[in-house]
Amino acid sequence: MSEQYVTIHARIIGRTNKAVRLQQEGETRWIPRSCIHGVDEQQIDSANVGQELDLRIFEWLAKREGLV
């Protein structure tokens, strides 16, 4: 699998220490934190639930989940 990243824009609606629940265009999905760029993962920790962020996630996952 490719380790290329793509940037998505999504709202944080939940988080655990292992995954982040994102909402994009009315759909929600859990994304493993291990698939999010490290710098962006730090932004998630300081963001409020409901906040929108631009996040870099692995391209293969974004395509599989229909995020791009």
Say if CB 2 and CB 34 are below 8 A apart. no
Question: What pLDDT, on the 0 to 100 scale, is given for residue 1?
Answer: 61
Q: What is the total count of domains within the chain?
A: 1
pLDDT interval class at 67 (50, 70, 90): confident
Range(s) of the domain holding residue 43? 5-65
Question: What pLDDT, on the 0 to 100 scale, is given for residue 68?
Answer: 86
| pLDDT tens-digit readout, 40-55 | 999 999 999 999 999 9
Question: What pLDDT, on the 0 to 100 scale, is given for residue 2?
Answer: 65
Question: What pLDDT, on the 0 to 100 scale, is given for residue 44?
Answer: 93
Residue 44 is part of a domain; what is its CATH number? 2.40.50.140
Res. 24: pLDDT tops 80: yes
